[in-house]
Amino acid sequence: MKQQFKFYFSETNTVFLFALLFFVNLSFSQVKEAQITKLINTYTAYNTFNGSVLIAENGKIMYKKGFGLANMEWDIPNAPNTKHRLGSITKQFTAMLILQLAEAGKIDLQAPITKYLPDYPKANGNKITTHHLLTHTSGIPNYTSFPDFFQNKSRNPYTPEAFVKEFSEMALDFTPGEKFNYSNSGYFLLGVLVEKISGKSYEQMLQEKIFTPLNMKDSGYDHHETILKNRATGYEPKGNKFVNSEYLDMSIPYAAGSLYATVEDLFLWDQALYTNKLLSKEYMNLFFKKHTKAGNGYYSYGWFIGNEPIGNTSETMATIAHGGGINGFNTYITRATSDQSLIVLLNNTGMAPLNDIAQAIRGIMYNKTYDFPKKSVAKTIYDEIQSKGIESAIQKYHSIKSSSDYTLEEREINTIGYQLLQEEKIDEAVTVFKWNVEAFPGSYNAYDSYAEGLMHQGNKELAIENYKKSLVINPNNQNGIDYLKKLGEDVSDYIIEDIVVADAVLQSYVGAYQITPEFIITVTKEGSQLKTQATGQPVFNIFPKSDTVFYLKVVEAQLTFNKNEAGDVVSVTLLQGGREITGIKM
C-alpha cells in the first residue's frame, strides 16, 4: 500500500510538473512577444520603423506582425502579407539562378564573361569572371554611385542590354579579384547573363526556378504599372514626417534590386535553403562559402557572412545576412543556422535602423539585455530648422545632443545635411555638417560631406582643408581626391601609383609587431608581395605608397614602418579610422 501510494504520488507530480512547464513555456513565449511588440511600437512611435516583421526559431514562426501604414493616404496598415520592395535582398535570388545554371553545366563561374556576352567590351570583359560579379570583386564601377544617376537616369526605362552600356566601357576601379567593392553593376550584369544563357527573361527564370517551386505566391519582379494587391507604398523621412519617395523605373535595379516579397514568403525561402530543393549539397555549400573578405566578415554569393551582436552584450552569433535599400524602402534578412533562427524586417519609410532593431530582437530571443530606441537628434533638429530657423536649432542641438533620451547618429546627421543642401539651405547644411565632424572626428565621410557643404557655400579654402582631413583618415577616398582636383589642388601626393620597393627593404619589414599585449600584427613576404595578418584575422596583401608606407585595399588602413638612426626597423604605426597606434617590433 505504501509503495502504491508512492507510485501514485510520483505520477501526479509528473503530470503537475509537465503542466507547469507547459504553462511556463507558454508564458515565456508571450513575454517575448510582448517585449518585441513594445520594442517595435516604440520605433514606430519615433518614426524610425514602419513595416512588417517576421521572427522564427528552430525553423518555426514565433512572431509576425505589421507596424504603421502600408499606405498613408488611405490609412491602410502594414501586415505580414504586405508586399515590400526588397532592394538588394534581390541579389541572393540572382545568385541562386546563376548557381542553378552552373550546376546544369551551362556556365563556368571562372570563365571570362565574354564567353557568354561576346558583345561586352573585351578589354574589361576578358578579365572579369562570373565569380567576380557574384562576389563584388569585378572592379566594375557601381552605377548607383554615379554623380548624375538619380537626377538623370533613375527615372528612365532601359532594356538590360542598353543599360549595360552605361558602365561597360568605363575604366575598372581595380584589377578584377584584387579587392571587394560593392557594385550593383555586377549584379545587373548577372541578370543579363541569366537571360543570355537561358533564353528566357530574368523574371521568367525567377518564377520557374525559385518562386513556383517554393510556393512563394506573393513574390515577384515589381513593375510600377502593374496593379498589385497588398503592395506597400514607399516613403522617405523628412525630419519626423514622411513624403512620397522619388519615382524609380524598375528596369534600373533589375537583377540587383527589383524584387518584392512578403515576410512570409521570405520565411519559405529561408527554410528552402536548409534543403536541396533548389541546388545540390555541393552547390549549396558554394552558395554560402566565404569567398571574399568584406568589412568585418565575408561575402559569399549574395550574402554577407559574419557575426552579429546579441542585444547590448559582448556576445555574438554567426549569421548569414543581407540588407537592401531602394527608393522608399529598406530591408534586412538575417539567419543563424546554429538554431535555424530568422529575423526579417521590411520597412517602407526608408533608412530605418534595421541592424539595431535586429540586434535588440536577438537580445529578447536569447534572454539578454538590449537597447530601447531613443528619439533622433537629427530628425528633431531638422524639424526645428524648418519650423523655427537655424538659430533656434543651434540652441536645441546643444541642449539635446548629450541627452540620454536622444541618440546622435553620424549617418542621420549626414542625411539631413544633404536634405538641406538639396533645399538650397546652404548655411544650415554647413552648420549641420560641422556638427558631424565635431561629434565624429574619426569619420572620413563626415569631413568629406562638410567639405562639400563648404564648397557649395563658396568657402574654397576651408573645403580644401577638410577634403585633405578626410584623406588623412582614408587615403583611398577617391571622392575627396576628385573634388580636390576640381578645386585646383595638386593631388599627386594622394594618388597611389604602382611603385617598386627593393627586395631587401621588403625583407626588413618581415616580423611581428605588438600593437597591444593581445593584438599583434605579423608581416610576411611571398616573392615581392608583403602580407599582413592581425591577431584573429585573415592574411591580407599590403601595397606600397612609398618605401615605408603600405596600405590595405580591403579595409581603410595603412602601415608605416619606422626605423631608428641606424636604419633598423623598430616599429610599425597603424593608421585606421583616424587613429594612429604604434607597435614595437618583437
Q: Give a yes or no: residue 495 inside a domain.
A: no
The 10s digit of each residue's pLDDT in 123-163 is 999 999 999 999 999 999 999 988 778 888 899 999 999 99
- Would you list the DSSP string of 14-78? HHHHHHHHHHHHHHHHHHHHHHHHHHHHHHHHTTS--EEEEEEETTEEEEEEE-SEEETTTTEEP
- The reported pLDDT for the residue numbered 14 is 44
**223 and 326 fall within a common domain:** yes
**What CATH number should be reported for the domain holding residue 548?**
2.40.128.50
**What CATH number should be reported for the domain holding residue 227?**
3.40.710.10
Closest CA to 247 of 155, 309, 172: 155
Taking all residues of the chain, what is their mean pLDDT, rounded to a whole number? 90
Q: How confident is the model at residue 184 (pLDDT cuts 50, 70, 90)?
A: very high
**406 and 282 fall within a common domain:** no
User: For the chain, how big is the Rg over CA atoms in Å?
Assistant: 27
The 10s digit of each residue's pLDDT in 479-526 is 888 888 888 888 777 666 667 889 889 999 999 898 876 678 889 888
Phi and psi angles of residue 159, each rounded to the nearest 5 degrees, phi first:
-80, 155
**269 and 325 fall within a common domain:** yes
Cell 579654402 belongs to residue: 461
Q: Give a yes or no: residue 353 inside a domain.
A: yes
The predicted model gives 50-60 an average pLDDT of 96
The 10s digit of each residue's pLDDT in 194-222 is 999 999 999 999 999 999 999 999 999 99
The 10s digit of each residue's pLDDT in 92-101 is 999 999 999 9
Of 109-113, 238-242, 355-359, which gets the smallest average pLDDT? 238-242
- The reported pLDDT for the residue numbered 522 is 87
76 contacts 358 by C-beta, under 8 angstroms: no
**476 and 329 fall within a common domain:** no
The predicted model gives 54-81 an average pLDDT of 97
pLDDT higher than threshold 70 for residue 174: yes
572 contacts 562 by C-beta, under 8 angstroms: yes
- The reported pLDDT for the residue numbered 498 is 63
Residue 15 to residue 245: CA distance in whole angstroms: 58
**DSSP three-state, residue 578:** coil
Where is the domain boundary, 365, 387, 409?
365
- The reported pLDDT for the residue numbered 330 is 95
Cell 501510494 belongs to residue: 5
- Would you list the DSSP string of 100-146? HHHHTTS--TTSBGGGT-TTS-HHHHTT-BHHHHHTT-S----GGGS
Q: Give a yes or no: residue 23 inside a domain.
A: no
pTM of the model: 0.76
pLDDT higher than threshold 80 for residue 18: no
- The reported pLDDT for the residue numbered 6 is 31
Closest CA to 382 of 559, 281, 522, 242: 242
Q: Give a yes or no: residue 47 inside a domain.
A: no
Give residue 98's Cα distance to chain centre.
Answer: 22
The 10s digit of each residue's pLDDT in 283-301 is 999 999 999 998 789 999 9
Q: How confident is the model at residue 55 (pLDDT cuts 50, 70, 90)?
A: very high
**DSSP three-state, residue 280:** coil
Per the structure, the complete domain to which residue 535 belongs is given by 503-585
- The reported pLDDT for the residue numbered 165 is 95
The predicted model gives 171-190 an average pLDDT of 94
Q: Give a yes or no: residue 50 inside a domain.
A: no
pLDDT higher than threshold 80 for residue 12: no
Residue 455 to residue 190: CA distance in whole angstroms: 38
Helix axes 184-198, 90-103, angle to 10 degrees: 40
**273 and 319 fall within a common domain:** yes
- The reported pLDDT for the residue numbered 544 is 87
The 10s digit of each residue's pLDDT in 237-282 is 888 889 999 999 999 999 999 999 999 999 999 999 999 999 999 9
Q: How confident is the model at residue 1 (pLDDT cuts 50, 70, 90)?
A: very low
| Domains in the chain, number | 3
Torsional class of 504: left (φ above 0), alpha (ψ -120 to 50), beta (otherwise)? alpha
**164 and 272 fall within a common domain:** yes
Cell 557572412 belongs to residue: 305
Question: In the structure grid, which three cell numbers stand for residue 248, read together?
Answer: 524609380
84 contacts 331 by C-beta, under 8 angstroms: yes
Q: Give a yes or no: residue 71 inside a domain.
A: no
Residue type, 392: S
Q: Give a yes or no: residue 7 inside a domain.
A: no
**275 and 411 fall within a common domain:** no
Q: Give a yes or no: residue 175 inside a domain.
A: yes
Where is the domain boundary, 426, 458, 486?
486
The predicted model gives 76-97 an average pLDDT of 98
Question: In the structure grid, which three cell numbers stand for residue 507, read together?
Answer: 625583407
Of 35-49, 432-446, 484-498, which gets the smallest average pLDDT? 484-498
**135 and 265 fall within a common domain:** yes
**306 and 285 fall within a common domain:** yes
Residue 527 to residue 543: CA distance in whole angstroms: 13
Cell 527589383 belongs to residue: 258
Residue type, 544: P
Closest CA to 429 of 441, 443, 439, 417: 417
**193 and 283 fall within a common domain:** yes
Q: Where are the beta strands (DSSP E) in 258-315?
A: 259-261, 292-294, 297-299, 304-309
**574 and 550 fall within a common domain:** yes
Calculate the CA dihedral of residues 326, 330, 336, 342 and round it to 10 degrees. Answer: -120
Where is the domain boundary, 461, 486, 511?
486
**184 and 332 fall within a common domain:** yes
**What CATH number should be reported for the domain holding residue 471?**
1.25.40.10
